[in-house]
Amino acid sequence: MSASDAVSRSSSRDLEQEALRRFRLLAPIIPPSCKVYRETWNNNTAVCLDFQHCPLELERVKENTPILMTALETLGLGKSIIFREGNHIRGWRNLLKFSP
């Protein structure tokens, strides 16, 4: 791996982290202990919210899905949000099918 490849990967990772930080700012309903990350599903990208460390917050956040979807669309982070509790999927919302 060349030095420029390492810098590029580091820059991409930094950009990803900054985008997810901004997502949290636009969606302040996400608890601090909720892990936020992106993963690919086929050719699409989904933002995952993992409530493993705050399972009691899951339903409250799901009830406020419009806030999450607006933040997702504003930042162009993906087309779906996956609600997880560890390895278990507890919900899924698609931007294209979403209507507040």
For residue 6, pLDDT over 90 is answered with no
Strand partners, 50: 35, 84
Give the sign of the dihedral formed by CA 26, CA 53, CA 51, CA 62.
negative
Summarised one tens digit per residue, pLDDT across range 22-80 is: 999 999 999 999 999 999 988 889 999 999 999 999 999 999 999 999 999 999 999 99
Does pLDDT of 94 surpass 80? yes
The alpha carbon torsion through 11, 17, 23, 27 (nearest 10 deg) reads -160
15 or 7, which is more confident? 15
Tokens 């909720």 sit on residue: 34
Q: Taking 70 as the threshold, does the pLDDT of residue 99 lie above it?
A: no
Closest by CA to 68, choosing from 17, 18, 34, is 34
